[in-house]
Amino acid sequence: MTVTYEDALASYEPVMGLEVHVELGTKTKMFCGCSTELKQDPNSQTCPTCLGLPGALPVVNAIGVESAIKIGLALNCDIAEWCRFARKNYFYPDMPKNFQTSQYDEPIAFNGYLDVQLEDGEVFRVEIERAHMEEDTGKSLHVGGATGRIHGASHSLLDYNRAGIPLIEIVTKPITGAGERAPEVAKAYVAELRELIKALDVSEARMEQGQMRCDVNLSLMKPGAEKFGTRSETKNVNSLRSVERAVRSEISRHAEVLNGGGTIIQETRHFHEDTGSTTSGRVKEEAEDYRYFPEPDLVPVAPSREWVEQLRAGLPELPRLRRNRLREEWGITQHDMQSVLNAGAIGPIVATIDAGADAAAARKWWMGELARHANETGVELGELPVTPEQVARVAALVQEGSLNDKLARQVLEGVLKGEGTPDEVVEARGLKIVKDEGALGAAVEEAIAGNPDIAKKVRDGKIQAAGALVGAVMKATRGQADAGRAREMILEKLGVEG
């Protein structure tokens, strides 16, 4: 019998643990000088160190450490006065040394929290266990099979360009007490973390590009129980929506197993976007033994307190507080602000306002025409080839009456197509509202002459029929006429009062 989500929540309390990996946006890798630019030929961004060649040694990227401390501070963590890297030993072809340089029992940041705001404005505190530094692995490409997975492949190709890119792993403490809102809390936490990472300017945190990846650990317990239930670990859940769905789906699945008298096995699970559910991955028959030990090739990291305080003083306004401030300044609802956040439009809108546009206009263009265009082309708003200054200029042209909305959309389209600045597009495409009474008058005369039947109706008092004549004028002027003025002139010519 299928257990509904509501049934599940009636009998169990969900407990979540979220592990988020963030790829830092440093110019070079964590332990060598190779570029972190991924869109290159396979294995072109490699050196003896990140290929794990015999004899090669790591050197810590100071910007990587700085970014980790910033993240730790923003998450209200303690920053270790002294900590070490550790080797996590396991064999896997995409890991050149067959150990990952990571941190184990001495993370750089620990014991923090992140307050996240839910849709209804409620603030939920997620406690942070730790944030630690480590390196990414390379990528395997399985060739010759039907699925692109290792099963059935004839051979595999390895690309180590990603190997050694700095990662920060952020691990929550068990999240309890969210109840039926667990999926929403999980999504809001990852969303808030993403905003935080972006605000700190340590990563672009694009989930769709794997710059931020989330593992969802979930278990159920009976209300009042003292011990957590057995957890499942759903790996690489890579969008906000999927985080929410994965939690929801696992809650139902666990409840179903438990209600049927079964036991949950501790295992890795994979989330499938198409079905919204998880399937079993590798069963952990015995706890994997990574044989951690302190990395002898690196010296301990001991950030001075002065440095930490300097970084603390330089932290930006926290995203949640900033959003609340902006929401009030812009005079919009919590729900509208959420839409702006989800669209990734806060930064562009703020910049557009800074460039002189009013808040409503800035929001209108970014959330409307530009969001649509970004969606269609599959890029982030911030990546569109239009600057906030240009959007502000378009808004100003509308404001002063030189453009109407329809023309403004055409101007933006021109800018996005690379035709130049808004003024250049206006000029090149000839997109000014026609205010010249002579030209407009000619178009009006033409419209009346060309549509005698309609003109008669208007003369006879069917004033609403004038709309068709206005339409003819607009058509003749390719939309550049001031429609209001055209209507006035038509009625005037036909001798009727508007």
Partner 1 sequence: MTDIIKLTAAETAAKIANGELTAVEVTEAHLARIEAVDEKVHAFLHVDREGALAQARKVDEKRAAGEKLGPLAGVPLALKDIFTTEGVPTTVGSKILEGWIPPYDATVTKRLKAADVVILGKTNMDEFAMGSSTENSAYGPTGNPWDLTRIPGGSGGGSSAALASHMAPLAIGTDTGGSIRQPAAVTGTVGVKPTYGGVSRYGMVAFSSSLDQGGPCARTVLDAALLHEVMAGHDELDSTSIDAPVPPVVEAARNGSVAGLRIGVVKEFRGEGYQAGVMQRFDESVELLKELGAEVVEVSCPSFTKALAAYYLIAPSECSSNLARFDGLRYGLRTGDDGSHSAEEVTSLTREAGFGPEVKRRIMLGTYALSSGYYDAYYGSAQKVRTLITKDFEKAFEDVDVLISPTTPTTAFPIGERADDPMAMYLADLCTIPSNLAGNAAMSLPCGLAPEDGLPVGLQIIAPAMKDERLYTVGAAVEAAFAARWGHPLLEEAPAL
Proportion of the chain in helix, strand, coil states, percent, rounded to 5: 40, 20, 40
Does residue 297 bind partner 1 (CB under 8 A)? yes
40, 98, 377, 399: which one binds partner 1 (CB under 8 A):
98
Query: Interacting stretch for partner 1, rule CB under 8 A, among 93-101, 107-115, 224-232, 359-367?
Result: 93-101
**CB-wise, 54 or 452, nearer to partner 1?**
54
Does residue 99 bind partner 1 (CB under 8 A)? yes
Is 108 within 8 Å of 80 (Cβ atoms)? yes
38, 63, 118, 158: which one binds partner 1 (CB under 8 A):
158
**CB-wise, 59 or 321, nearer to partner 1?**
59
CA distance 122 to 127: 16
Distance of CA 84 to the CA centre of its chain: 32
Write the interaction track for partner 1 spanning residues 270-289; mark x where CB under 8 A is met and - where it is not: -----------------x-x
Footprint of partner 1 on residues 26-65 (CB under 8 A)? 48, 51-60
96, 107, 348, 388: which one binds partner 1 (CB under 8 A):
96
Q: Which residues pair with 172 in a beta bridge?
A: 128
Q: Minimum distance from CB of 170 to partner 1 (Å)?
A: 24
Residue 314's Cβ-side half-sphere holds a number of Cα atoms within 13 Å equal to 13
**CB-wise, 158 or 468, nearer to partner 1?**
158
Tokens of 143: 């060739």
Give just the sign of the alpha carbon dihedral 352, 355, 358, 359: positive
Does residue 331 bind partner 1 (CB under 8 A)? no
3-state secondary structure of 203: coil
3-state secondary structure of 139: strand
Q: Minimum distance from CB of 296 to partner 1 (Å)?
A: 4
Is 214 within 8 Å of 238 (Cβ atoms)? yes
**CB-wise, 136 or 250, nearer to partner 1?**
136
CA distance 231 to 258: 12
**CB-wise, 145 or 471, nearer to partner 1?**
145
296, 452, 461, 498: which one binds partner 1 (CB under 8 A):
296
Strands 99-102 and 232-237: unpaired
Residues at the interface with partner 1 (CB under 8 A): 48, 51-60, 87, 89, 91, 93, 96-99, 154, 156, 158, 287, 289, 291-293, 296-299
